[in-house]
Amino acid sequence: LAKTTGRNCFQFYVASVDQEMRERKRLEKDLACAQQKGQFVLLYQPQVSLETGKIIGAEALLRWEHPERGLVPPDTFIPLAELNGSIVDIGRWVLDQACYQAAQWAAEGMPMRIAVNISAVQLRQHDIVETVLETLERHQLPANRLELEVTETTVMTNLEDAIAKLHRFKQKGILIAVDDFGTGYSSLTYLKRMPVQHLKIDKQFVRDLLVNEDDTRIATTIIDLGKSLNLSVVAEGVETAEQEYYLRQRGCHLAQGYFFSKPLQSQDFESFVINFHDKMIENNA
Ligand code: C2E
Ligand code: MG
Ligand code: MG
Ligand code: MG
Protein backbone atom coordinates (compact mmCIF):
# COMPACT_ATOMS: atom_id res chain seq x y z
CA LEU A 1 0.00 0.00 0.00
CA ALA A 2 2.77 2.35 1.00
CA LYS A 3 4.42 1.75 -2.33
CA THR A 4 1.29 2.63 -4.29
CA THR A 5 0.78 5.79 -2.33
CA GLY A 6 4.40 6.69 -2.88
CA ARG A 7 4.02 6.15 -6.56
CA ASN A 8 0.90 8.26 -6.76
CA CYS A 9 2.63 11.04 -4.89
CA PHE A 10 5.50 10.84 -7.29
CA GLN A 11 3.18 11.04 -10.29
CA PHE A 12 1.38 13.96 -8.74
CA TYR A 13 4.71 15.67 -8.21
CA VAL A 14 5.80 15.12 -11.82
CA ALA A 15 2.47 16.37 -13.12
CA SER A 16 2.68 19.59 -11.14
CA VAL A 17 6.30 20.27 -12.05
CA ASP A 18 5.38 19.61 -15.66
CA GLN A 19 2.48 22.02 -15.43
CA GLU A 20 4.68 24.61 -13.81
CA MET A 21 7.23 24.24 -16.59
CA ARG A 22 4.56 24.70 -19.25
CA GLU A 23 3.17 27.68 -17.38
CA ARG A 24 6.65 29.21 -17.28
CA LYS A 25 7.24 28.58 -20.96
CA ARG A 26 3.97 30.35 -21.80
CA LEU A 27 4.82 33.30 -19.62
CA GLU A 28 8.24 33.47 -21.26
CA LYS A 29 6.69 33.40 -24.72
CA ASP A 30 4.23 36.16 -23.82
CA LEU A 31 7.03 38.16 -22.25
CA ALA A 32 9.00 38.01 -25.48
CA CYS A 33 6.42 40.18 -27.28
CA ALA A 34 5.17 42.22 -24.31
CA GLN A 35 7.38 45.16 -25.11
CA GLN A 36 6.46 45.24 -28.78
CA LYS A 37 2.78 45.08 -27.83
CA GLY A 38 3.18 48.00 -25.44
CA GLN A 39 2.14 45.97 -22.41
CA PHE A 40 4.64 47.48 -19.99
CA VAL A 41 3.60 50.31 -17.71
CA LEU A 42 5.80 52.32 -15.42
CA LEU A 43 4.34 53.45 -12.10
CA TYR A 44 5.80 56.11 -9.84
CA GLN A 45 5.92 55.96 -6.05
CA PRO A 46 6.54 59.29 -4.26
CA GLN A 47 9.63 59.65 -2.10
CA VAL A 48 9.09 62.09 0.76
CA SER A 49 11.71 64.07 2.66
CA LEU A 50 11.10 63.48 6.37
CA GLU A 51 12.97 66.71 7.11
CA THR A 52 10.84 69.04 4.96
CA GLY A 53 7.73 66.94 4.37
CA LYS A 54 8.06 67.53 0.64
CA ILE A 55 8.00 65.05 -2.22
CA ILE A 56 11.46 65.13 -3.72
CA GLY A 57 11.16 62.38 -6.26
CA ALA A 58 9.76 59.03 -7.30
CA GLU A 59 10.82 55.45 -7.70
CA ALA A 60 9.84 54.01 -11.08
CA LEU A 61 8.28 50.55 -10.69
CA LEU A 62 7.52 48.30 -13.63
CA ARG A 63 4.21 46.53 -14.30
CA TRP A 64 3.23 44.13 -17.04
CA GLU A 65 -0.33 44.53 -18.26
CA HIS A 66 -1.05 41.00 -19.51
CA PRO A 67 -4.22 40.68 -21.64
CA GLU A 68 -5.43 37.57 -19.77
CA ARG A 69 -3.57 37.58 -16.49
CA GLY A 70 -4.05 41.25 -15.69
CA LEU A 71 -1.31 43.18 -13.95
CA VAL A 72 1.67 40.87 -13.49
CA PRO A 73 3.97 42.06 -10.67
CA PRO A 74 7.69 42.43 -11.38
CA ASP A 75 8.74 39.73 -8.92
CA THR A 76 7.10 37.16 -11.24
CA PHE A 77 8.56 38.19 -14.58
CA ILE A 78 11.81 40.03 -13.86
CA PRO A 79 13.62 36.85 -12.71
CA LEU A 80 12.48 35.23 -15.99
CA ALA A 81 13.66 38.23 -18.00
CA GLU A 82 17.01 38.07 -16.22
CA LEU A 83 17.42 34.39 -17.07
CA ASN A 84 16.67 34.81 -20.78
CA GLY A 85 18.41 38.15 -21.11
CA SER A 86 15.36 40.16 -22.17
CA ILE A 87 15.83 42.33 -19.06
CA VAL A 88 18.43 44.26 -21.07
CA ASP A 89 15.82 45.51 -23.56
CA ILE A 90 13.15 45.89 -20.91
CA GLY A 91 15.57 47.83 -18.71
CA ARG A 92 16.39 50.15 -21.58
CA TRP A 93 12.71 50.87 -22.06
CA VAL A 94 12.28 51.53 -18.31
CA LEU A 95 15.22 53.91 -18.26
CA ASP A 96 13.99 55.74 -21.35
CA GLN A 97 10.44 56.05 -20.04
CA ALA A 98 11.61 57.18 -16.58
CA CYS A 99 13.95 59.85 -17.97
CA TYR A 100 11.29 61.03 -20.41
CA GLN A 101 8.83 61.41 -17.52
CA ALA A 102 11.27 63.21 -15.23
CA ALA A 103 12.17 65.64 -18.04
CA GLN A 104 8.47 66.18 -18.71
CA TRP A 105 7.77 66.97 -15.05
CA ALA A 106 10.69 69.38 -14.96
CA ALA A 107 9.36 71.13 -18.08
CA GLU A 108 5.99 71.48 -16.31
CA GLY A 109 7.66 73.16 -13.33
CA MET A 110 7.69 70.03 -11.15
CA PRO A 111 11.33 68.94 -10.96
CA MET A 112 11.62 65.44 -9.47
CA ARG A 113 14.44 63.01 -8.97
CA ILE A 114 13.70 59.66 -10.54
CA ALA A 115 14.98 56.35 -9.13
CA VAL A 116 15.31 53.40 -11.49
CA ASN A 117 15.99 49.79 -10.48
CA ILE A 118 18.92 48.20 -12.29
CA SER A 119 19.35 44.43 -12.31
CA ALA A 120 22.66 42.57 -12.12
CA VAL A 121 22.35 41.48 -15.76
CA GLN A 122 21.98 45.10 -16.86
CA LEU A 123 24.91 46.30 -14.79
CA ARG A 124 27.05 43.58 -16.35
CA GLN A 125 26.44 44.97 -19.89
CA HIS A 126 29.67 46.52 -21.15
CA ASP A 127 27.76 49.50 -22.60
CA ILE A 128 25.48 50.18 -19.62
CA VAL A 129 27.19 53.48 -18.73
CA GLU A 130 26.97 54.74 -22.32
CA THR A 131 23.33 53.64 -22.53
CA VAL A 132 22.43 55.60 -19.40
CA LEU A 133 24.36 58.72 -20.47
CA GLU A 134 22.86 58.61 -23.93
CA THR A 135 19.35 58.36 -22.43
CA LEU A 136 19.94 61.39 -20.17
CA GLU A 137 21.25 63.31 -23.16
CA ARG A 138 18.30 62.39 -25.35
CA HIS A 139 15.83 63.69 -22.78
CA GLN A 140 18.01 66.59 -21.66
CA LEU A 141 17.73 65.39 -18.09
CA PRO A 142 20.46 66.60 -15.70
CA ALA A 143 22.45 63.64 -14.35
CA ASN A 144 21.70 64.47 -10.71
CA ARG A 145 17.97 63.94 -11.37
CA LEU A 146 18.63 60.25 -11.97
CA GLU A 147 19.27 57.69 -9.28
CA LEU A 148 20.12 54.07 -10.02
CA GLU A 149 19.06 51.47 -7.44
CA VAL A 150 21.27 48.41 -7.14
CA THR A 151 21.18 45.67 -4.52
CA GLU A 152 24.15 44.50 -2.49
CA THR A 153 23.95 41.15 -4.27
CA THR A 154 24.05 42.83 -7.69
CA VAL A 155 27.30 44.55 -6.76
CA MET A 156 28.85 41.63 -4.87
CA THR A 157 28.36 39.07 -7.67
CA ASN A 158 30.53 41.10 -9.99
CA LEU A 159 32.43 43.24 -7.55
CA GLU A 160 35.33 44.94 -9.35
CA ASP A 161 33.45 45.55 -12.59
CA ALA A 162 30.36 46.81 -10.75
CA ILE A 163 32.34 49.21 -8.55
CA ALA A 164 34.21 50.57 -11.58
CA LYS A 165 30.91 51.25 -13.35
CA LEU A 166 29.37 52.86 -10.28
CA HIS A 167 32.38 55.19 -10.14
CA ARG A 168 31.81 56.20 -13.75
CA PHE A 169 28.14 56.95 -12.98
CA LYS A 170 29.18 59.00 -9.98
CA GLN A 171 31.72 60.96 -12.02
CA LYS A 172 28.90 62.02 -14.30
CA GLY A 173 26.76 63.11 -11.33
CA ILE A 174 24.31 60.19 -11.37
CA LEU A 175 23.22 59.07 -7.89
CA ILE A 176 23.41 55.50 -6.63
CA ALA A 177 21.25 53.86 -3.96
CA VAL A 178 21.76 50.48 -2.33
CA ASP A 179 18.32 48.87 -2.47
CA ASP A 180 16.98 46.32 0.04
CA PHE A 181 19.91 47.13 2.30
CA GLY A 182 20.44 44.56 5.03
CA THR A 183 18.91 41.62 3.15
CA GLY A 184 21.78 40.74 0.84
CA TYR A 185 25.28 39.53 1.24
CA SER A 186 27.71 42.38 1.66
CA SER A 187 30.36 43.70 3.94
CA LEU A 188 31.05 47.12 5.36
CA THR A 189 34.49 47.06 3.75
CA TYR A 190 32.88 46.92 0.33
CA LEU A 191 30.18 49.40 1.24
CA LYS A 192 32.94 51.87 2.01
CA ARG A 193 34.37 51.32 -1.48
CA MET A 194 31.02 51.75 -3.20
CA PRO A 195 30.37 55.29 -4.43
CA VAL A 196 26.77 55.42 -3.20
CA GLN A 197 24.70 58.29 -1.76
CA HIS A 198 21.68 56.42 -0.43
CA LEU A 199 20.92 53.33 1.65
CA LYS A 200 17.39 51.98 1.35
CA ILE A 201 16.16 50.12 4.42
CA ASP A 202 14.33 47.07 3.15
CA LYS A 203 10.59 47.01 3.79
CA GLN A 204 10.90 43.76 5.73
CA PHE A 205 12.58 45.69 8.55
CA VAL A 206 10.08 48.55 8.37
CA ARG A 207 6.98 46.34 8.48
CA ASP A 208 7.42 45.31 12.11
CA LEU A 209 9.52 48.28 13.08
CA LEU A 210 7.53 49.02 16.24
CA VAL A 211 6.54 45.44 17.00
CA ASN A 212 9.70 43.43 16.66
CA GLU A 213 12.70 44.62 18.67
CA ASP A 214 15.19 43.05 16.25
CA ASP A 215 13.69 45.03 13.39
CA THR A 216 13.76 48.22 15.46
CA ARG A 217 17.46 47.65 16.11
CA ILE A 218 18.25 46.79 12.50
CA ALA A 219 16.45 49.85 11.11
CA THR A 220 18.06 52.10 13.72
CA THR A 221 21.49 50.65 13.03
CA ILE A 222 21.11 51.31 9.30
CA ILE A 223 20.12 54.94 10.01
CA ASP A 224 23.17 55.37 12.27
CA LEU A 225 25.42 53.65 9.73
CA GLY A 226 24.17 56.08 7.10
CA LYS A 227 25.01 58.99 9.37
CA SER A 228 28.52 57.78 10.09
CA LEU A 229 29.24 57.10 6.41
CA ASN A 230 27.57 60.35 5.39
CA LEU A 231 24.87 58.63 3.36
CA SER A 232 21.19 59.52 3.21
CA VAL A 233 18.88 56.78 4.37
CA VAL A 234 15.58 55.98 2.67
CA ALA A 235 12.98 53.80 4.37
CA GLU A 236 10.79 51.77 2.03
CA GLY A 237 7.45 50.16 2.86
CA VAL A 238 6.34 52.82 5.35
CA GLU A 239 2.67 52.04 5.97
CA THR A 240 1.71 53.75 9.24
CA ALA A 241 1.95 57.16 10.92
CA GLU A 242 3.78 55.49 13.82
CA GLN A 243 6.49 54.13 11.54
CA GLU A 244 6.84 57.51 9.84
CA TYR A 245 7.13 59.25 13.21
CA TYR A 246 9.72 56.84 14.56
CA LEU A 247 11.87 57.05 11.42
CA ARG A 248 11.65 60.85 11.35
CA GLN A 249 12.60 61.17 15.03
CA ARG A 250 15.51 58.81 14.43
CA GLY A 251 16.84 61.02 11.64
CA CYS A 252 15.95 58.89 8.61
CA HIS A 253 16.04 61.28 5.66
CA LEU A 254 13.54 59.95 3.14
CA ALA A 255 10.61 57.58 3.10
CA GLN A 256 8.28 55.91 0.66
CA GLY A 257 5.37 53.56 1.21
CA TYR A 258 1.61 53.15 1.27
CA PHE A 259 1.38 55.60 4.19
CA PHE A 260 2.10 58.31 1.64
CA SER A 261 1.01 56.64 -1.57
CA LYS A 262 1.00 53.46 -3.63
CA PRO A 263 2.94 53.52 -6.92
CA LEU A 264 0.89 55.72 -9.28
CA GLN A 265 0.33 56.28 -13.00
CA SER A 266 2.17 59.40 -14.15
CA GLN A 267 -0.93 61.67 -14.30
CA ASP A 268 -2.05 60.52 -10.85
CA PHE A 269 1.45 61.18 -9.55
CA GLU A 270 1.24 64.79 -10.75
CA SER A 271 -2.10 65.46 -9.04
CA PHE A 272 -0.87 63.66 -5.94
CA VAL A 273 2.14 65.98 -5.67
CA ILE A 274 0.00 69.11 -6.10
CA ASN A 275 -2.54 67.94 -3.49
CA PHE A 276 0.12 66.78 -1.05
CA HIS A 277 1.90 70.11 -1.03
CA ASP A 278 -1.37 72.11 -0.87
CA LYS A 279 -2.36 70.12 2.20
CA MET A 280 1.03 70.77 3.75
CA ILE A 281 0.59 74.52 3.27
CA GLU A 282 -2.92 74.31 4.81
CA ASN A 283 -1.63 72.37 7.79
CA ASN A 284 1.12 74.89 8.40
CA ALA A 285 -1.19 77.89 8.03
P1 C2E B 1 12.06 47.31 -4.76
O2 C2E B 1 12.86 48.10 -5.71
O3 C2E B 1 12.63 47.05 -3.43
O4 C2E B 1 10.68 48.08 -4.67
C5 C2E B 1 9.90 48.18 -3.51
C6 C2E B 1 8.65 47.32 -3.62
O7 C2E B 1 7.83 47.58 -2.45
C8 C2E B 1 7.75 47.63 -4.79
O9 C2E B 1 7.17 46.40 -5.20
C10 C2E B 1 6.69 48.54 -4.20
O11 C2E B 1 5.48 48.56 -4.93
C12 C2E B 1 6.51 47.90 -2.85
N13 C2E B 1 5.99 48.81 -1.85
C14 C2E B 1 6.04 50.16 -1.84
N15 C2E B 1 5.48 50.66 -0.72
C16 C2E B 1 5.07 49.61 0.01
C17 C2E B 1 4.42 49.49 1.29
O18 C2E B 1 4.12 50.46 1.98
N19 C2E B 1 4.19 48.21 1.72
C20 C2E B 1 4.51 47.11 0.99
N21 C2E B 1 4.24 45.90 1.50
N22 C2E B 1 5.13 47.20 -0.22
C23 C2E B 1 5.39 48.43 -0.70
P24 C2E B 1 7.01 46.05 -6.74
O25 C2E B 1 6.62 47.27 -7.48
O26 C2E B 1 6.13 44.84 -6.82
O27 C2E B 1 8.48 45.68 -7.18
C28 C2E B 1 9.13 44.56 -6.66
C29 C2E B 1 10.58 44.53 -7.04
O30 C2E B 1 10.71 44.35 -8.46
C31 C2E B 1 11.30 45.84 -6.75
O32 C2E B 1 11.69 45.88 -5.40
C33 C2E B 1 12.47 45.74 -7.70
O34 C2E B 1 13.48 44.95 -7.15
C35 C2E B 1 11.88 45.01 -8.88
N36 C2E B 1 11.56 45.98 -9.94
C37 C2E B 1 10.51 46.80 -10.07
N38 C2E B 1 10.59 47.54 -11.20
C39 C2E B 1 11.76 47.19 -11.79
C40 C2E B 1 12.45 47.61 -12.99
O41 C2E B 1 12.01 48.50 -13.73
N42 C2E B 1 13.64 46.99 -13.28
C43 C2E B 1 14.17 46.04 -12.45
N44 C2E B 1 15.35 45.48 -12.80
N45 C2E B 1 13.57 45.64 -11.32
C46 C2E B 1 12.38 46.20 -10.99
MG1 MG C 1 13.96 49.72 -5.68
MG1 MG D 1 13.76 47.84 -2.07
MG1 MG E 1 12.85 44.53 -3.20
pLDDT in the model for residue 1: 44
Query: What is the C-alpha to C-alpha distance for residues 118 and 80, in angstroms, rounded to an integer?
Result: 15
Mean pLDDT of successive 10-residue segments in the chain (285 residues)?
Answer: 50 74 89 94 98 97 95 94 95 98 97 98 97 98 98 92 97 97 83 93 95 95 94 98 97 98 98 89 76
Ligand whose nearest atom lies closest to the CA of 202 = 3
Tell me the CA–centroid distance for residue 69 and ligand 1, in Å.
19
Tell me the CA–centroid distance for residue 79 and ligand 4, in Å.
12
pLDDT digits (tens, 9 = 90+) for 202-235: 999 999 999 999 999 999 999 999 999 999 999 9
Count the residues in the chain. 285
Query: What is the C-alpha to C-alpha distance for residues 116 and 146, in angstroms, rounded to an integer?
Result: 8
209-216: long-range contacts at Cβ-Cβ below 8 A with a sequence spacing of 24 or more?
A: 209/243, 209/246, 209/247, 210/242, 210/243, 210/246
pLDDT in the model for residue 2: 42
Ligand 1 neighbours by CB, cut-off 6 Å: 45, 61-62, 73-75, 78, 91, 94, 117, 119, 149, 179-180, 203, 236-239, 257-258, 263
Tell me the CA–centroid distance for residue 38 and ligand 2, in Å.
23
Contact (CB, 8 A) for 116 and 95: yes
